[in-house]
A and B are shown apart, each in its own frame.
Chain A
Amino acid sequence: MTTVWIDFEQSHLYFPRIIVGLLLAMALLMMVRFLPAKIQRFRSGQRPVFFQNKSSWKMVGGAVFLLWLYIVGMGVIGAFFPNRGFGFLIASIFFMLASTFLFMGERTRKKVLIGVINALVTPVLAWLVFGQAFHITLP
């Protein structure tokens, strides 16, 4: 009863099928256990809280967008200068400037100055140390 025979040609699917089966079973179990209570709470007017305060979705959304733009930009700029790491260098400076201002909140002259210096110095340093001294490939 416990004997098994695994067809080698299909063996790449054997374990994944078990895992997918387990996941589906657990998902079902969780739905049965938690969903009714959730629906009841929703009906009684309690809405799930996704963000702690209202303005925070702008910060998160902004961070996600900047990261996306950073990665795309790196590839696009890097294509003009293959294997020199300039895509990384240029995109990093812009990304750091933008994200520093996004995260900064209230702006003062001192905070802005430190942020700008950081955004200029860090990518150059990283490019020099990793790209030039350590010979790590950069986009």
Chain B
Amino acid sequence: MIALITCCLKLGGPSSLRDIRNLYLDQSRIRAEIGYYDAIIANGQQLTDSYLEKEPDRQRYTILLPAADQQPEAIGNLEKLICSGPGRLLNMRVNEKSDYGSYSAQNISIRIGSLKAFPDNLISQLEHFPHLLIIEQIEWQAGEAEAGALNLSLSLYFLN
């Protein structure tokens, strides 16, 4: 008889109560997750509208601040732009990259010689470069005939 009672107590004792408690905790966790997804689904139309509205901006900023893996292509495009510009490219150096956490800056120094005048067009083209390119420093020296020289220090930015 005592053995039977002990067996019943074991079956319906603390372990079962612990199971019930765990099941309740599980359920409340799942319900909270469902609530989170419900809120997202309820907000779905607004999110979609906002996305469609901001899509042109998003595409523009994706080009403006490209991912780090697009660095070779971006530097290649800059090289083409500089080489097709006025004067003679004397030196183009890609310096060490600076990491700022969420983004990084690639410093590039350029030296162009044989310039007849100040290269307004080149500066304008650099300003309208599709990727975020900031002219950090500029030094232009006029010279006799075509001896003018331009030193530029640029930073090309990438998203990490």
Q: Do A and B come from one complex?
A: no
Q: Interface residues, chain A, CB within 8 Å of chain B?
A: none
Q: Interface residues, chain B, CB within 8 Å of chain A?
A: none
